[in-house]
Chains A and B, each alone.
Chain A
Amino acid sequence: MEFPKDIKYTKEHEWARTEGNIITVGITDYAQDSLGDVVYLELPAEGTTVTKDETFGVIESVKAVSDLYSPITGTVIEVNDALVDNPEVINDDPYGDAWILKVEMNAPAELAELLTADEYKKYVEEEK
Chain B
Amino acid sequence: MPYIPHTEKDIKEMLNAIGIASVEGLFNSIPDSLKIKKTLNLPPALSEQELIHELTELSRKNAAVGEYVSFLGAGAYHHYIPSLVNHLISRSEFYTAYTPYQPEISQGTLQAIFEYQTLICQLTGMEVGNASMYDGASATAEAVLMARRINNKSKVILSSALHPEYREVVNTYLFSDGNNIREILYCTETGRTLPEAIEKLVDKDTACVVIQQPNFLGSIEDIKTVSEIVHKNNSILIVAIAEPISLGLLKSPGELGADIVVGEGQAFGNGLNFGGPYLGFFATLDKYLRQMPGRIVGETVDKNNKRGYVLTIATREQHIRREKATSNICTNEGLCALAAAIYLTAIGKHGLMEIAKLNLSKAQYLKKGLANIKGIKIAFTAPTFNEFVIETEKEPDVVIKALLKKGIITGPSLKKFYTELAKHMLVCVTEMNTKKDMDILMEGLSRI
Contacts and interface: CB of A to CB of B under 8 A. Distances in A.
A34 to B, nearest CB: 14
A61 B324 contact: no
B321 interface: yes
B324 A64 contact: no
Contacts of B315: 60-65
A40 B290 contact: yes
A64 B320 contact: yes
Interface in B283-301: 290
A42 B150 CA distance: 12
Contacts of B290: 40, 42, 60
B316 interface: yes
Interface residues of B, number: 6
Contacts, number: 16
A92 interface: no
Interface residues of A, number: 9
A65 to B, nearest CB: 5
A42 B321 CA distance: 15
A67 interface: yes
Interface string A58-78: 001111110100000000000
A67 B320 contact: no
B286 to A, nearest CB: 13
Contacts of B320: 64-65
Nearest to A63: B315
A67 B316 CA distance: 12
Nearest to B326: A65
A67 to B, nearest CB: 7
Nearest to B315: A65
Contacts of A40: 290
B313 to A, nearest CB: 9
A4 to B, nearest CB: 29
Interface in B147-172: none
16 contacts: A40-B290, A42-B290, A60-B290, A60-B315, A60-B316, A61-B315, A62-B315, A63-B315, A64-B315, A64-B320, A65-B315, A65-B316, A65-B320, A65-B321, A65-B324, A67-B324
